[in-house]
Amino acid sequence: MAASTAAGKQRIPKVAKVKNKAPAEVQITAEQLLREAKERELELLPPPPQQKITDEEELNDYKLRKRKTFEDNIRKNRTVISNWIKYAQWEESLKEIQRARSIYERALDVDYRNITLWLKYAEMEMKNRQVNHARNIWDRAITTLPRVNQFWYKYTYMEEMLGNVAGARQVFERWMEWQPEEQAWHSYINFELRYKEVDRARTIYERFVLVHPDVKNWIKYARFEEKHGYFAHARKVYERAVEFFGDEHMDERLYVAFAKFEENQKEFERVRVIYKYALDRISKQEAQELFKNYTIFEKKFGDRRGIEDIIVSKRRFQYEEEVKANPHNYDAWFDYLRLVESDAEAETVREVYERAIANVPPIQEKRHWKRYIYLWVNYALYEELEAKDPERTRQVYQASLELIPHKKGTSIGKCPKNKLFKGYIELELQLREFDRCRKLYEKFLEFGPENCTSWIKFAELETILGDIERARAIYELAISQPRLDMPEVLWKSYIDFEIEQEETERTRNLYRRLLQRTQHVKVWISFAQFELSSGKEGSLPKCRQIYEEANKTMRNCEEKEERLMLLESWRSFEDEFGTTSDKERVDKLMPEKVKKRRKVQADDGSDAGWEEYYDYIFPEDAANQPNLKLLAMAKLWKKQQQEKEAAEQDPDKDIDESES
C-alpha cells in the first residue's frame, strides 16, 4: 500500500517548453533525410544467403519459384522485352533450350519488330550449334524486316563461317534484290573477291553503279578493274561514266581520276585531251581541283608551251565566266579579246568578236553605247592591221554604221537629261524662239513631270510673254500632278503669281485649297500676313479671324512648337494693331513652359535612364484636364506661402521700406 502510494506520488518529468518557435535558419527536407540515409547506408539490406541445392526436389522447387517470378514480371508488363530476354537466357543457362525457344516465340508474338529479340534468339541457336534452327530464325527475320541490314550481315557471316559459300551467295542475292545501301554492295563484292571470283565481282559492280549511280562508285569500279590488271576494262568504265553523266552532270572528280589513270598508263596525250575536254565544259567554280591537277601534270610531263597554254586556258575560262554572268560587261570583253588576239588563231578571234558585238546595249543611251562602239572599232582595226583583210574591214565598218542609231533624232531624243534640256532652252531663249521654248518645256515636263522648277520656269516664261491665262493653266496643271519633288515651292510661286496680278480672291482661294492639303503653321501665318498686307478695308478683322481659325484648328496638333509659333505671330500682330483687350486675350492663350522627365530607351529596347525636356501647357488644354488645373492651383498656393514666410522672416525690412 505504501509502495503504491509512493509510486503514485512519483512526479512525471516535465516536458521542456520551446521558447523560440520561429523556424530554423536551415530547413531539413524529407528528400535530404532520405539522401543522408542512403549515403550512410542506414537502410542497406544484407544480400540473401547463398542457397545450395542438394537434391532434385529442391532444384525443381527453385525452378518453379524463378519461373513464377519471371511469369509475374511478364504478366505485369508484356511490352518490356528485357524481361522476356532475361527469362529466355535463364532457361538457356539451365540447358532448357526448348523452353527458351518457347519464350522467344511468345516474345515475338508480342513485338516482332524488336531487332534485339531476333538477334538474341538467333545467337542462342548458334551458340548451341543449332544451325538449322538459326537459319530458320534468320530467314524469318530478313523476311519480316528486310530493311534491317544487321540481320543480313549476321546471316551471311554465319553461312560463310560454316563454309556454305553458295548459301551465303544466295543470301547476298536476296539482299541485293532490295537495293540496299552502298556498304551492302561492297560487302558482297568483297565476299566474292575473298574467293577469287573476279568475274562475279565485276557483274556485281555492273549492277551496283546502276542502282547507285554516283561518280565515286564509277571510279571505284574503274579502280577495281585497274587493280586486277584489266586496263582496257578500266578505260571502258571511265568512258562509259563520261557518257553516262553527259555534259549536264559533269563532275571534276571523274575527269581527274580518268586523267590519273591514263597518266599511270603513260598515255600523256590522252591526259591532255581529257583535261582540256573537261575544262571547256565545267564551270570555273567547280573545276578548281581540275586546274590544279592539270597544272601539276604539265609541270611534270609538259614543255613550256604546255604550261603557257594552261595559264591562257585558265584566264580564258575566267573571262568566259565573267561574260556569261553579264554579257554587257564590255570591259570584260575587251580583256578577253586582248587575250585571244595574243594567242589564238584568226578564226577564234573573229568568233569572240562576233559574240561580243552581238550584245547590243539594251537602251539607246550614250553611256551604254560609248563603250560598245569601241568593240566595232577594235574589230575593224584587227581585220585591217592583224588579219590584213581589207574586205572584211570594210564589212565591219559598214555593219557598225547600220547598227548605230544615227537617225534617232537629236541628243535629247537619245539621252534626255535635265542639264541638256536647260541648256537647249537657254539657247532658244537667247535666239528669241519662244515657240520652240514652249515645245521644249512640254517635252521636258513629259520627261520629268515631278520637277517643280521646270513648271515654275515654264509659267514664268508665259508671264513674261504676257499670256497670264496660259501661265495660270500651267500652274493648275502643275499642282494637280500626283508626285512633285518640291510642292511647297510650287504653291508659293503660284500664290506669288496671283498676288502680283492683284487677284486677291484667287489668292485667298489658293490658300484655302492649300490648307485642305496641309495644315502647316507657316501656311496659316502666310495666309494671315497676306490678308494684313492686302491693304483693303476690313483686312485687320480678316487677319485676326484667320489667326483664330488657325488656333482652333491646331489645338489637336501634336507639334506644340508650331502652335506656339502661331501664337507668337498672333501676339506680334496684336502688339502692333490690336487693343489692350486683344493683347490680353492672346496673352491668356500663351502656354506655360514646364520642365519634365521621361524614360529613354536604347536601340536594343533596354532602359537608358531619364532625360529632361521642356513641354508647353496651353491654358485651353489645362482647362480640359482637372489634374493640370489642380497643379496650377497648388503652384499658386506654394508661391503665396513662400511670400508669406519671407515677410515673416524679415519684418524690419518691411518697416524700413514703409519709412522710406
Helices assigned H by DSSP within 77-130? 81-93, 97-110, 115-127
Find out whether 470 and 457 touch, Cβ atoms under 8 Å: no
Q: Measuring CA to CA, which residue among 402, 394, 419, 391 is closest to residue 360?
A: 402
pLDDT digits (tens, 9 = 90+) for 397-427: 888 877 776 555 544 554 456 776 777 777 6
Entry pTM: 0.45
pLDDT number for residue 305: 55
Task: Say how many C-beta atoms besides its own lie within 10 A of residue 287's C-beta.
Answer: 21
Parts of the chain with a pLDDT under 70? 1-16, 18, 41-45, 48, 284-285, 291, 298-299, 301-314, 343-344, 365-368, 405-417, 420, 427, 431, 557-559, 592-597, 605, 608-609, 612-635, 649-660
Q: Note the pLDDT of residue 249.
A: 82
What's residue 380's pLDDT? 85
- Residue 139 confidence (pLDDT): 94
Alpha carbons 178 and 180: distance in angstroms, whole number: 6
pLDDT at res. 314: 65
Tens of pLDDT, residues 287-313: 777 767 777 776 676 555 555 555 666
222 contacts 257 by C-beta, under 8 angstroms: yes
Which DSSP string do the residues of 379-422 spell out, in sequence order?
A: HHHIIIIIS--HHHHHHHHHHHHHHS-TTS-SHHHHS--HHHHH
Q: Which helix or strand (DSSP H or E) is residue 596 part of?
A: strand 592-601
Which pLDDT score, from 0 to 100, does residue 621 have?
A: 62
